[in-house]
Amino acid sequence: MADPWDLGLGHSLELGAWSLELSIAMTPLVCYLLLSALLFSIGLAGALTRRNAIIVLIGIELMLNAANLNFIAFWRYGEHPETLTGVMFAIFSIGVAAAEAAVGLALIIAVYRHYKTTNLDQVDSMKG
């Protein structure tokens, strides 16, 4: 019975003198964790490279969502799913993220009212 998740990557790579033993078991949990890590780093890249404050906030929301995915994946495939720990964490994380988005956007609007721009490179002085 072939496991549909078996992508046949459980081999070892030999690059000349270096023989790398990588036995990657691509179980469902590993797939979800890699996806969550990829989303997190995409969000981080966006938050660190874009100029506009609102896009930085979008990146932060993506990072929070990637962490939620991580929690739910561990809850589903880990030990003791009946204690619902991952689900609780995800619910509270969604609540906190909504509060943080509201306050962050209010701050961006207040800063815009003062500096007339949302460009982060130009909001660079503490002098009011």
Partner 1 sequence: MIWIFVILAMVTLAGAMAALSQRHLVHCALCLVLALGGLAGLFLQLDAQFVGLAQILVYIGAVAILIVFAILLTRGSEPTQQSALTSSWVMGVSVAVLTFGSLAAGVLASHVIPWASNPKPNVATDVAVNRIGEKLMTDYVVPLEVVALLLTAALIGAVIIAMKEEPK
13-52 residues in contact with partner 1 (CB under 8 A) are: 22, 24-25, 27-35, 37-52
For partner 1, which is the closer residue by CB, 14 or 25?
Answer: 25
| Residue 72 is a binding residue for partner 1 (CB under 8 A) | yes
For partner 1, which is the closer residue by CB, 113 or 127?
Answer: 113
Taking each helix axis from N to C end, the angle separating 53-77 and 28-49, rounded to the nearest 10 degrees, works out to 170
CA–CA dist 21, 19 (Å, integer): 6
C-beta of residue 39 within 8 angstroms of C-beta of residue 79: no
Using CB under 8 A as the criterion, what x/- string covers residues 90-119 for binding partner 1?
xxx-xxxxxxxxxx-xxxxxx-xx----xx
Per DSSP, 120 falls in state T
Instruction: In angstroms, give the least distance from the CB of 17 to partner 1.
Output: 21
| Residue 81 is a binding residue for partner 1 (CB under 8 A) | yes
Instruction: In angstroms, give the least distance from the CB of 16 to partner 1.
Output: 22
For partner 1, which is the closer residue by CB, 12 or 119?
Answer: 119
Long-range pairs for 100-105: beta carbons < 8 A, 24 or more residues apart: 100/60, 101/57, 101/61, 104/57, 104/60, 105/54, 105/57
- Tokens representing residue 84 in the block: 């619902």
Instruction: In angstroms, give the least distance from the CB of 82 to partner 1.
Output: 5
For partner 1, which is the closer residue by CB, 14 or 49?
Answer: 49
Q: Which amino acid is at 109?
A: I
